Amino acid sequence: MYWKLTLLVLASVFPPDFGRAQQGCSNIPNSLRFDCYPEGEANEQSCVNRGCCWAKPVIEEENVHVPLDIPYCFYPNDYGYQVVNKQTTPTGYLLSLTKRGHPGPYGREIENLAVDVRFETKDRLHFKVYDPNNKRYEVPITTPKVETEATSLDYSVTVTNFPFGIAVTRKSSGTVVFNSSVGGMTYEDQFLQMSSLLPSDVLYGLGEHSAPLLLDVKWHRGSLFARDVATPEGFNYNLYGVHPFYVSLERDGNANGVFLLNSNAMDIVLQPTPAITFRTIGGKLDFYIFLGPTPDLVVQQYTEVVGRPTMPPYWGLGFHLCRWGYGSLNGTETVNANMRRYGIPQDVQWNDIEYMDRHLDFTVDQSKWGGLGDFVKKLHENYHQHYIPIVDPGISCEQPAGQYRPYDIGLSMGVFVNSSSGEPMIGKVWPGQTVFPDFTYSVTQAYWDQMLADFRELVEFDGLWIDMNEPSNFVDGSSKGCPDTSLDNPPYVPHVLGGTLRGKTLCMSAKHHDHSHYDVHSLYGLTEAKNTMSALEKVRGKRSIVISRSTFPSAGLHGGHWLGDNTATFNDLYLSIPGILNFNLFGVPLVGADICGFNGNTNKDLCGRWMQLGAFYPFSRNHNTINANPQDPAAFGDDFAHMARDVLLIRYALLPYLYTLFAHSHMRGSAVARPLFYEYV
């Protein structure tokens, strides 16, 4: 009776395969522990219940990085999928996998998987892990279509049968650049995970974050999910853009790169093994491995996949000036004239949302900004300058029927993102209640073409600044909230700012024409940039500029980026440098930060140093917010203006060189602004 009672108690605490799980837990060193309870607050029972190992680290490390450390709950070394079949294909081979052991923790596990391994070029491997029996979301960007296997390879590939893992080795050195035979690969409907050992702890990329260039692999977690936030410092904060791509330096100086083509919300965990874990909540595990062997070749190989950067017009590389707070057209004209009075070079004048009538897109406030169109013509004809206004994606839906064409036409064309119940989803942005164009829908291009053509009849702009396109929303989800669905409340939520996916954006269950917002949220800025550049080329008939806040891989193909709402501090001046260098690795070389800082009041010393740095940004623009002190180069007196003129004249003397670098970037994908390691490994 005693033994029966004991067995019943043990069975209530531990699952039937507890012994199997514990067998796979022996002799796993701290360095090979991969977190099996990423939502946190695990205990021994909850850990073992999901088939994982529970043990305190053998050695407690000091000065660990909160909130991550060596996990107490970690994957056993026999957790995952088993290869059950392999067949040759024209591009490589196809593997069939079957899940073994304990089911995953988040539900709807996919038991049978396929792995398409493609030897696409001598220095590029592409492998995709997917469900062969059901169609899953796939990122809709254009990538190379390869029909046959490359005839020679700089790498070899080996596969571990159980647990399944794929390892990529550089033939010339024997260095293993990618090895996923660790960490418990998981593939559920809303939780996909793959880990890999890294060849060294020297790692760059994985943006967008406001952080130092060299990533710290000592237990750090970053999240990728487009978010409107004023650039908090740290790898753990998700910002405007999503770029799951890194460049790694090997111990002998060779470089490699890894790209996960996935647009769902994700966590990326770095640990001092060194190793990396990609953890996403949708789509597929679609990896590209680039063999370099130089950083420049890695970036070239990456942009060959996502698209070469656009070639900006020459004037776009000049100095740009803007602020939110000119107050009127007269204020803009005064600052623009002061620049000429001091002889300070300026190619482009910008305006923020204050030029609009009640913040309505494609309108001009006639009370304070009447004559804006004539001012722009004068810039063109008299001063050989160009003009860029801001346009936000939120279209007001509050105006009386027939009085606001952008809403009326968009509604008739059916181009707005809908709620799960089928009507346009209503959020709130600057003009009040708004709806949001679905830029993934092919019909929206014709709508956007018409809106920009109509607006250009009022103001003959030369480029466009697209902001608030994460998309940003002043209410969480919608004006009616969000339904309780698995998309709006997934079983696992990456560690994004605010803790929910709907924070400051749309409901994840919102319907795009062919997709849910859950899948394409982080593509919103990219698809708007693509539509905007296409429309600009039609209405202008020549090369133009689009500067977007939110970005995704291939954004550089359609425009550039500024680093968002920074602050007037020396620390933000410093952080602008890794930000710009990272975006050059991401294939978005036309990038800069708001010179002198956007938020807060700058001072003469800080702004002077920032002008001296910003004169050499690839995209060079001074900009700041409403109610802050003026910070244009003519605002601080004669000596400052003369300094600004001198340093900008150096920039202009170097423009042929800068233009040539952009031509090389456009043709072969190289970076324009380059960190020292890029040239001198």
Give the amino acid at 99: K
Q: What's the first-to-final CA gap in the chain, in angstroms? A: 70
* Phi, psi angles (nearest 5°) of residue 49: -60, -25
* Phi, psi angles (nearest 5°) of residue 226: -55, 130
Residue 437 Cα distances to 391, 395, 466, 471, angstroms = 13, 8, 13, 10
Alpha helices in 215-328 (DSSP H): 295-306
Q: Name residues whose C-beta falls within 8 Å of residue 328's C-beta, 6 or more positions apart in sequence.
A: 368, 369
**In contact, 133 and 98? CB cutoff 8 Å:** no
Give the DSSP H/E element, type plus range, for residue 591: strand 591-592
Cα 28 to Cα 198: distance, rounded to the nearest angstrom: 18
β-bridge pairing 427-429 and 591-592: unpaired
**In contact, 122 and 154? CB cutoff 8 Å:** yes
CB atoms within 10 A of CB 2: 6
Structure tokens at 224: 């990728």
159 burial type by CB count under 10 A (0-12 exposed, 13-18 middle, 19+ buried): middle
CA gyration radius, the chain: 26
**In contact, 146 and 127? CB cutoff 8 Å:** no
Give the DSSP H/E element, type plus range, for residue 536: helix 524-540
Which one of the listed residues 123, 354, 438, 470 is annotated catalytic?
Answer: 470
CB atoms within 10 A of CB 504: 19
β-bridge pairing 386-391 and 463-466: parallel
Cα 565 to Cα 597: distance, rounded to the nearest angstrom: 8
Which one of the listed residues 467, 488, 519, 565 is annotated catalytic?
Answer: 467
224: left (phi over 0), alpha (psi -120 to 50) or beta: beta
Residue 467 appears among annotated catalytic residues: yes
Cα 513 to Cα 444: distance, rounded to the nearest angstrom: 10
Q: What is the three-state SS of 588-650?
A: CCCEECEECCCECCCCHHHHHHHHHHHCCCCCEEECCCCCCCCCCCCCCCHHHHHHHHHHHHH
Longest CA span, the chain: 100
**In contact, 520 and 501? CB cutoff 8 Å:** no
Give the amino acid at 120: E
**In contact, 397 and 435? CB cutoff 8 Å:** yes
* Phi, psi angles (nearest 5°) of residue 502: -80, -5
Nearest-5° Cα angle at 379, 377 to 384? 115
**In contact, 491 and 103? CB cutoff 8 Å:** no
Residue 470 appears among annotated catalytic residues: yes
Catalytically active residues, by annotation: 467, 470
